[in-house]
Homo-oligomer: A and B are copies of this chain.
Amino acid sequence: MMAQITILEGINRALADAMAADETVLCFGEDVADPEDGGVLGVTKGLSSRFGEHRVRSTPIAEQAIIGAAIGVSLGGFKPVAEIMLMNFTTVAMDMIVNHAAKLRFMSGGQTNVPIVIRTMTGSGFANGGQHSDYLEAWFAHTAGLKVVAPSNPADAYGLLLSAIDDPDPVLFIENLPTYFTKGEAPAAGHRVPIGKASVLAEGADLTIIAYARMVQEAKAATEALAGQGIGVELIDLRSIAPWDRETVLASVARTGRAIIVHEAVTPFGVGAEISAVINESLFGALKAPVKRLGAAFCPVPFSRPLESAFAPTAATIEAAAKALLA
């Protein structure tokens, strides 16, 4: 058996390996240096001790200044990985992300580019309530000039983060709080996962399930449950949301004729809408059932446990949706 590491360790290793390989790689954000414990969850632990606080820098609580500094230092030739602690806090830095990071290459006619990575974390399930758990990936995917990735296992986290750091354009790297300690195979050192390439986790003839981030785990459980009932699911871990892997998705749905898209963001105007629209445009007349979108309830993330449990899709709701599609 391969060595097992957690997603958190995968991220930490990617940062360490990237910083060791390239001294222009920087890492900064609130509490990220070791005097501050290497982050409130220890994701960046050890990095400042190893690479120095000039390269691994804790910042004031000032997300506009953080992303502004990332943009500027990248214009000066560095490859910064900036952390916005939680995805909901991107709301205070949207100008820097959307009006500047995403647009400077285009607006400068290609003279400058912004090779930054913005790491951010989110996810329901930790009783953090309405302002700490949102999945907002659709906003960023709707912004020309940004790439968006959301790994679901340690090897992908490692490989996507390295690719994001390599990338000459801004990449939003979305981490999931509840699965930081989920284990998986350790990647080989230097392993890259190309941005824009999905991974097929299970093959099946009856139905395609497309998921990313924590929803992959729920979809996996549903896939296994359905397999026990003789239903073959092709499970696609999207990994990259913008750009997303149309080829893999369309090829699969062309075979199965049925698709469910699962995400933790609220359903309306979510990523599922885009994928559904493209599937319907591309496979018109070739589908056996309407494309199904499964997202969170259309409300802020609730605090109370039973409400939070009912908020996002689960293995059970995915399984039920699959059966309904096949009925």
Q: Does A270 contact B (CB under 8 A)?
A: yes
Q: A280: which of B90, B99, B268, B277 is its contact (CB, 8 Å)?
A: B277
Instruction: Determine how close the nearest CB of chain B comes to the CB of A314; give it in whole angstroms.
Output: 19
Take A269-B274, A281-B290 as given contacts and tell me if A144 and B106 are in contact as well, using a CB distance cutoff of 8 Å. Answer: no
Take A91-B94, A139-B139 as given contacts and tell me if A144 and B103 are in contact as well, using a CB distance cutoff of 8 Å. Answer: no
Whether the pair B268, A142 counts as a contact (CB closer than 8 A) is yes
Whether the pair A95, B91 counts as a contact (CB closer than 8 A) is yes
Instruction: Give the residue name and chain of the B residue nearest to A102 (CB).
Output: B300
Q: Does A138 contact B (CB under 8 A)?
A: yes
Whether the pair A284, B289 counts as a contact (CB closer than 8 A) is yes
Take A94-B94, A99-B88 as given contacts and tell me if A268 and B274 are in contact as well, using a CB distance cutoff of 8 Å. Answer: yes
Q: Does A181 contact B (CB under 8 A)?
A: no
Q: What sequence of 0s and 1s flags, for each residue 118-161 of chain A, a beta carbon within 8 Å of any chain B beta carbon? A: 00000000000111000010110110110000000000000000
Q: What CA separation (Å) do A274 and B295 show in the bound complex?
A: 13
Q: A106: which of B92, B98, B130, B242 is its contact (CB, 8 Å)?
A: B130
Whether the pair B270, A142 counts as a contact (CB closer than 8 A) is yes
Instruction: Determine how close the nearest CB of chain B comes to the CB of A312; give it in whole angstroms.
Output: 13
Q: Interface size bucket, A side?
A: 35 or more
Q: Does A273 contact B (CB under 8 A)?
A: yes
Instruction: Determine how close the nearest CB of chain B comes to the CB of A97; give it in whole angstroms.
Output: 8
Q: Does A41 contact B (CB under 8 A)?
A: no
Whether the pair B91, A299 counts as a contact (CB closer than 8 A) is no
Whether the pair B94, A268 counts as a contact (CB closer than 8 A) is no
Whether the pair A280, B290 counts as a contact (CB closer than 8 A) is yes
Instruction: Determine how close the nearest CB of chain B comes to the CB of A163; give it in whole angstroms.
Output: 21
Q: Does A4 contact B (CB under 8 A)?
A: no
| 12 contacting pairs across A/B (C-beta < 8 A) | A91-B94, A91-B95, A92-B94, A103-B130, A106-B299, A106-B302, A107-B131, A269-B271, A276-B280, A281-B291, A284-B287, A284-B289
Given contacts A94-B94, A102-B300, A103-B131, 16 further A-B contacts (CB under 8 A): A88-B99, A91-B98, A91-B99, A103-B130, A107-B131, A136-B142, A138-B142, A138-B269, A144-B266, A144-B299, A145-B299, A242-B269, A269-B274, A273-B276, A277-B280, A280-B280
